[in-house]
Chain A
Amino acid sequence: MSLWRTMLIALRALRRNPTRALLTALGIVIGIAAVIAMMEIGNGSSKAIRSSIESMGANSILVIPGAPRIPGGVRQSAGSGVSLTPEDCDAIANDCPSVDTAVPIVRASAVQAVAGNKNWTPQQCYGTGPDYLRIRNWVIAEGRNFTRREVENRARVCLVGKKIVTELFNGESPVDSEIRIKNVTFTIIGVLKEKGANMMGFDEDDVILAPWSTVRLRITGLKTGTATNMTSTASTSPSSLYPATGVAFYPEQAENLETDTLLVPKFAQIDQIMVMANSPNDVNKAIRELSQVLRERHNIRPGQEDDFWVRNSAAFMETLSGTSRLMTNLLMVVALISLIVGGVGIMNIMLVSVTERTREIGLRMAVGARSRDILKQFLVESILLCLVGGIVGIILGRAAALLVKSQLNWPIEPSPGGMLTAVAVSAFVGIVFGFYPAWKASKLDPIEALRYE
């Protein structure tokens, strides 16, 4: 007997008792609807949590120079070494597949900003690249970001935080006005959106951002330090930093001298490199890749220590993965319980149905149904119930999720994969829990079944 015909017979049998069919399917409807609604709401919250953690910098990595290794027991503080160059930054951005982008950072500490008749010392004054805002998940409230060209040209432009606007400009729009930082005049081209305090309590809006080349060359000047190891790279030698001047700050070292000298003075153009991995999950991979790139660039031999340190937000990462794991497990448990309940409901009613329809089964056998025809019919009945229940459940679940979105303003995220899984699972439940009753029906003796009262 063809499947289509079996389905017709099953459909007719279900139509004979619509109330029972409805009640049977209801278990699956509720189960699948709960699963779909939970999935959408769960995915939505998961995504919201992820993006809020990302905005706190879960996928950003900070590369700072290591502490110089001076022979003997002397150790200086982290970041006091000089080992990072803008070329390192470009190499990280270009050569590491897991890295989205990287920007250099130059820090100017305790600089005074003057505008009109007011002055203010911002907590942070950074020189950086245009991608910095993207890494920090920061947006511009007014005006524009500075461009790559302005970095190259050491343009005297800057972005200011909300705090600067209130302190120096009485809250009025400062775009296109001038501000003097350490007596260098900058044009304000944009205002950053308010961000508030960070996790440590620092006011993040008390900030001035400018092209790193401008800050380095016009405000802070070059930072000198000691090389963190004995290998000096060509790119950090003074004459390569200022090829235009043609004046050597220090006499170039002869090769034989270089190996004898323990401490090579170095000039740093940048203080830190801020790196953004493609996603929070890629952070560890990105760290491996950028370490490899930096070790190669800094000629560090295997076995030698890194001349840079890498910091990332491990705690954020933990929170992130922990939260989404918890979410997923919760969903799985809910899905499992509701589907088992629905499945047992199906089995229960199918068993009742088999008992109630014993005579019908006997009659069908008497007129020529083989036991496998009976098995097929009951199995198809339960699968049909489950599938229809599953589809109705998906619609109801979707509706419930939309209701939650409109009434509670929770974020939701539709998942087509989840819907497909739900349909597959409901068919599976139909087979698993429909099999026993169907098998029982097919094993009935036609004589007994016909005599059944």
Chain B
Amino acid sequence: MSLIELRDIRKTYSLGEMDVPVLKGISLSIERGEYVALMGASGSGKSTLMNILGCLDRPTSGDYLFDGREAGRLSGDERAKLRNKYIGFVFQSFNLLPRTSALENVCMPMYYTAGELSAKEITRRGKEMLERVGLAERMYHEPSQLSGGQQQRVAIARALINHPPVLFADEPTGNLDSKTSVEVMKLFENLNKEGITIILVTHAVEVADCAKRTIHIQDGLVVSGAYKGV
């Protein structure tokens, strides 16, 4: 069974009288442990697709099966729960809380986890995760005291704190120089080797090349790479 399966997903925004179709029937599947890049020009609908995949948005029509369960028609609270437990997000602009230590940034998602964890356990997990991304020395630094690459690694640690099976990265290297980009991509590769499914959204070919499969999107339709090995 695929981790993610889309069947004829459509998304239409209505601007007053006019309906603007952004996704025009997307079908694809992503297996557990894959490393996939989602590519397309701006305006192609890849961000919308990513929002739907990340359960931030709901499709207008079509089926979205996440781990075999229907995820496209969940209520807001149910999607929040799903995001909290099964999905990690890494953003282009890091989105760290300002004036908050790296450790607290990493621990933040655990406060919304349904099963209550003790404060001690939360801190322990946060430290462990920061060590894993190589920031054991900088736990109590605030974002403004960290370099871009370090900030993105804090963001990755935050995305992984609840051990989600899948990690979404939206242009993760967009704000980084080439040297740190390589470091971050290396980190993604290592995480993928540990079994985490990674879905990268990018328009940079060299970034997409790191992935094992590339799905090309154009004008709201999948052009190539919708299924593994096809």
User: Are B80 and A447 closer than 8 Å at their CB atoms?
Assistant: no
Interface status of B127 (Cβ within 8 A of chain A): no
B89 (CB) vs chain A CBs: closest residue = A366
User: Which of A362, A363, A447 lies in contact with B57, CB distance below 8 A?
Assistant: A447
Partner of A370, one of B76, B104, B108: B76
**Given known contacts A367-B89, A373-B112, A447-B56, A16 and B98 CB-to-CB distance under 8 angstroms:** yes
- Per the CB 8 Å criterion, the residue count for chain B at the interface is 27
Complex interface: chain B residues within 8 A of A1 (CB): 111-112
Q: How far is the CA of A373 from the CA of B108 in the complex (A)?
A: 13
The distance in angstroms between the C-alpha atoms of A450 and B111, with both chains bound, is: 20
Judged by a CB distance under 8 angstroms, whether B17 is at the interface is: no
- Contact across chains for A367 and B76 when beta carbons are under 8 A apart: no
Q: Which single member of B77, B99, B112, B116 contacts A367 (CB below 8 Å)?
A: B112
Neighbouring B residues of A366 by C-beta, 8 Å: 54, 56, 83, 89
Q: Is the CB of B95 within 8 A of A359?
A: yes
Smallest distance from the beta carbon of B50 to chain A beta carbons, Å? 10
Closest to B76 in A: A371
Answer yes or no: B113 CB below 8 A from chain A CBs. Answer: yes
What residue of chain A has the Cβ atom nearest to residue B112's Cβ?
A368
Let me know if A2 is at the binding interface, CB within 8 A.
Answer: yes
Are the CB atoms of B108 and A364 closer together than 8 Å?
yes
A368 close to B83 (CB less than 8 A): yes
- A367-B56 contact in complex given A17-B99, A447-B51, C-beta closer than 8 Å: no
A149 in the interface (beta carbon within 8 A) = no
Size class of A's contact patch? 20 to 34
Contact assessment for B97 and A367 in the assembled complex, using a CB-CB cutoff below 8 Å: no
Closest to B93 in A: A359
The answer to whether the Cβ of B85 comes within 8 Å of any Cβ in the partner chain is yes
Contact among A5, A8, A17, A368 for B85, CB-based, below 8 A:
A368
With A360-B97, A367-B158: A2-B116 Cβ-Cβ less than 8 Å: yes
Tell me if B193 is interfacial: C-beta within 8 Å of chain A: no
CB-defined contacts of B57 to chain A, threshold 8 Å: 447
Smallest CB–CB gap between B97 and chain A, Å? Answer: 6
B116: chain A residues at CB < 8 Å are 2, 5
**Restricting to A8-58, which residues have a CB under 8 Å from any CB of B?**
8-9, 12, 16-17
Q: Do the beta carbons of B81 and A368 come within 8 Å of each other?
A: yes
- A199, chain B: closest CB distance, angstroms: 69
**Which B residues are CB-close (under 8 A) to A372?**
77
Pick the residue among A5, A362, A370, A450 that contacts B80 (CB under 8 A): A370
Structural contact, B97 and A16, CB atoms closer than 8 A: yes
Residues on A with beta carbons closer than 8 Å to the beta carbon of B162: 368
Asked, given contacts A363-B95, A369-B80, A370-B77, whether A9 binds B111 with beta carbons under 8 Å apart, the answer is yes
Q: Which residue of A lies closest to B78 (CB)?
A: A370
**What distance in Å separates the Cβ of B6 from its nearest Cβ neighbour in chain A?**
18
* In the bound complex, CA of A368 to CA of B89 (Å): 11
Q: How far is the CA of A1 from the CA of B97 in the complex (A)?
A: 20
List the B side residues contacting A363 at CB < 8 Å.
Answer: 95, 97
Q: CB distance B109 to A368 under 8 Å?
A: yes
Tell me if A367 and B100 are in contact (CB < 8 A): no
A371 to B76, CA, bound (A): 8
What's the nearest-Cβ distance from chain A to residue B82, in Å?
Answer: 8
* Interface membership of A365, Cβ < 8 A: yes
Is B91 located at the chain interface by the 8 A CB criterion?
yes
Q: Which residue of A lies closest to B81 (CB)?
A: A368
> Would A367 and B51 count as touching, CB distance under 8 A?
no
**Is the pair A367, B98 in contact by a Cβ cutoff of 8 Å?**
no
Bound CA–CA A371/B57 (angstroms): 14
Complex interface bits, B41-53 against A, C-beta within 8 A gives 1, otherwise 0 = 0000000000100
A122 at the interface (CB under 8 A from B): no
* Per-position 1/0 for B105-143, Cβ under 8 A of A: 000110111001000000000000000000000000000
Closest chain B residue, CB of each to CB of A373: B112
User: Considering only CB atoms, which chain A residue lies closest to B82 in the complex?
Assistant: A368
> Once bound together, how far apart are the Cα atoms of A401 and B122, in whole Å?
47
- Please give, as numbers and ranges, the residues of chain A lying within 8 Å of B151 by CB-CB distance: none
Chain B residues contacting A373 (CB-CB under 8 Å) are 112
Q: Is the CB of A5 within 8 A of B111?
A: yes
Residues of B within 8 A of A368 (CB): 80-81, 83-85, 109, 112-113, 162
Q: With A367-B109, A368-B85, A368-B109 in contact, is A12–B104 under 8 Å at CB?
A: yes
**Nearest B residue to A362, CB-CB:** B95
Question: A322-372: which have CB < 8 Å to B?
Answer: 359-360, 362-372
Complex Cα gap A372–B77 (Å): 9
Tell me the A434-453 residues at the B interface (CB within 8 Å).
446-447, 450
Q: In the assembled complex, which residues on chain A have CB atoms less than 8 Å from the CB atom of B113? A: 368
Shortest Cβ gap from B146 to chain A (Å) = 16
- Please report the C-alpha to C-alpha distance between residue A9 and residue B104 in the assembled complex, in whole angstroms: 10
Instruction: Return A356 CB to nearest CB of chain B, in Å.
Output: 10
A425 to B139 Cα, complex, angstroms: 41
Interchain CA distance A165-B12 in the complex, whole Å: 105
Note all chain B residues with C-beta closer than 8 A to A367: 83-84, 89, 108-109, 112, 158
Residues of A within 8 A of B109 (CB): 367-368
Q: Could you jot down 7 A-B contacts, CB within 8 Å? A: A1-B111, A5-B111, A366-B89, A367-B89, A367-B158, A368-B112, A450-B95
The 10 closest A-B pairs by CB, nearest first: A368-B84, A367-B109, A16-B99, A368-B112, A370-B80, A363-B95, A370-B77, A369-B112, A368-B83, A366-B89
